[in-house]
Amino acid sequence: MSAQAEGDLRYSVLDFATLDGWAKDDHAAALSVFRDTCRDMKDPDWRNLCALAGDIPDARAFFELFFRPVLIEDGAPALFTGYFEPELEGSLRRSSRYRFPVYKMPPEARQIRPWLTRRAILEGDQMDGRGLEIAWVDDAVELFFLQVQGSGRIRLPGGRTIRVGYEGFNGHPYRSIGQELVRRGTYQSHQVSAQVIRNWVNRNPDAGRELLYHNPSYVFFREVSEVPSDKGPLGAMNRSITAMRSVAVDPAFVPLGAPVWVEKDGKDPLRRLMIAQDTGSAIKGAQRADVFFGTGDRAGRRAGRLRDPGRMMVLMPIQRAYALLPEGQS
């Protein structure tokens, strides 16, 4: 059953039997992650289901009994990418090694939209002498990717680690430096990954600095002290996210906290029930999703290789799902 909604949005209410691999997934693992954030959802139908989620021993039956999969399409092809929590080397003091600042957000950046560009922030003196530095790191490219990911860990001399999370950005749109390298003819699209970009910038320091400036968007951070080291970073719902069960979505189409069934094609197909617990400046569209892979270099390598098609279904409360259909089709 499907319905054409306002604009170009199309909703299709599906049956669980049509979801490829549904019966083979670990529904209990997904339910546990759903419980982490469902209590923060505001709508009564979601809150009622959250209250029930703690009392049902059969996780698969819970989802099949109270939800229906909804395919939401806006005309753009589905795209799955991956993200991770980086771990950088840094210090609380500037030195010849640690010279790239991780900034807190200045008050005027919240009030003036858009504020200064990446180039103006890093080459000007607007940030100087204001105590906005959380830490200093030793690699400008790694800091750039920390901003793309939105959160991470900084390992200090002596082994102590601090965690930083997204506080805000300067209001300028995100521009992909990977796509810029493709546009220039430096690489073909299938060759571009985070590691390829790192290597190119390090081989070409002057041109590499200019490439980073191609993205005018600049992310500011806050120190996150309330999250235990064994937990994932905070997502958009201000709760820890879970590797391979949390996904970033566009909240204009997918409610934060909602379960989503992922059918990622391409190399290493993925069929998994995940929870929409995060967002991202580059995650725009009804069929756009970013899978969280975890913390560290290995997670980063896996996330950086992911750029695949597929489809994503949002599990909606039954009444809400059928309310998307026109009269007579429910």
pLDDT (0 to 100) of residue 149: 84
Whose CA is closest to 157, among 114, 95, 210, 209? 95
* Claim to verify: residue 150 and residue 104 sit in the same structural domain: yes
Looking at 169, 192, 223, which one is the last position of a domain? 223
* Claim to verify: residue 65 and residue 12 sit in the same structural domain: yes
* Claim to verify: residue 190 and residue 124 sit in the same structural domain: yes
pLDDT (0 to 100) of residue 281: 78
Looking at 223, 243, 272, which one is the last position of a domain? 223
For CA atoms 273, 279, 284, 285, the dihedral sign is positive
* Claim to verify: residue 31 and residue 50 sit in the same structural domain: yes
Whether residue 198 lies inside any domain: the answer is yes
Whether residue 329 lies inside any domain: the answer is no
For 89, the domain range is 85-223
Whether residue 291 lies inside any domain: the answer is yes
Residue 125 buriedness (CB in 10 A; 0-12 / 13-18 / 19+): exposed
pLDDT (0 to 100) of residue 4: 47
- Assess contact for 217 and 169: CB atoms under 8 A: yes
Which positions ≥6 away from 93 have C-beta within 8 Å?
Answer: 136
Looking at 187, 202, 223, which one is the last position of a domain? 223
pLDDT (0 to 100) of residue 234: 87
Strand order in the sheet with 79-85: 2-4, 10-13, 67-73, 310-317, 259-264, 270-278, 246-248, 288-295, 79-85, 307-308
* Claim to verify: residue 93 and residue 77 sit in the same structural domain: no
Expressed in angstroms, the distance from the first to the final Cα of the chain is: 8
* Claim to verify: residue 68 and residue 111 sit in the same structural domain: no
Whose CA is closest to 311, among 287, 284, 290, 277? 287
How many residues appear in the chain? 330
- The domain tally of the chain equals 2
* Claim to verify: residue 114 and residue 76 sit in the same structural domain: no
Residue 162 buriedness (CB in 10 A; 0-12 / 13-18 / 19+): middle
Place of tokens 């949005």: 9
Phi then psi for residue 293, to 5 deg, are -100, -15
Question: Which CATH number characterizes residue 293's domain?
Answer: 2.40.40.10
* Claim to verify: residue 149 and residue 265 sit in the same structural domain: no
* Claim to verify: residue 219 and residue 121 sit in the same structural domain: yes
The pLDDT averaged over each successive group of 10 residues in the chain (330 residues) is 62 97 98 96 94 90 97 96 93 97 97 97 96 97 92 92 92 94 94 90 96 97 83 90 97 97 96 96 93 92 91 97 76
Whether residue 307 lies inside any domain: the answer is yes
Calpha distance 233→323 (Å, rounded): 35
* Claim to verify: residue 50 and residue 109 sit in the same structural domain: no
pLDDT (0 to 100) of residue 230: 76
Whether residue 328 lies inside any domain: the answer is no
* Claim to verify: residue 216 and residue 262 sit in the same structural domain: no
pTM value is 0.78
